[in-house]
Amino acid sequence: MNMNMIKQAQKMQADLVKMQAEMEEKTYTAKSGGGAVIAEVSGKRELISLIIDPDAVDPEDVEMLQDLILAAVNEALRKAETSMSESMSKLTGGLNLGF
């Protein structure tokens, strides 16, 4: 490896560490049921907030509420994953590896 490649790799590593820290600080929100359920996840892919509209709570239809919760949480997690993938692509997209 020549010095230029080593410098590029070191810069990419530093940029990756910085990007990961920034991503962990971000939050991603998704709604389901027209806003009846709102889920918020962190860049660490942890559920940090779940808001349920009281009108969405029907003791006769618990399965509907469960589905709304799953939909909102999964969509928020997908948003976090997509954001991370896009950032990673921007970081490594222009790297000339020399082969």
Note the pLDDT tens digit of each residue in 11-20.
Answer: 888 888 888 8
Confidence of residue 98 (pLDDT cuts 50, 70, 90): very low
CB count within 10 Å of CB 65 equals 17
In angstroms and rounded to an integer, the radius of gyration of the C-alpha atoms of the chain is 20
CATH class of 3-92: alpha beta
Distance from C-alpha of 53 to C-alpha of 76, rounded to nearest angstrom: 18
Report the predicted TM-score, pTM, of the whole model to 2 decimal places. Answer: 0.75
Q: What digits encode the pLDDT tens for the residues 19-64?
A: 888 888 899 999 999 999 999 999 999 999 999 999 999 999 999 9
* pLDDT at 67 > cutoff 90: yes
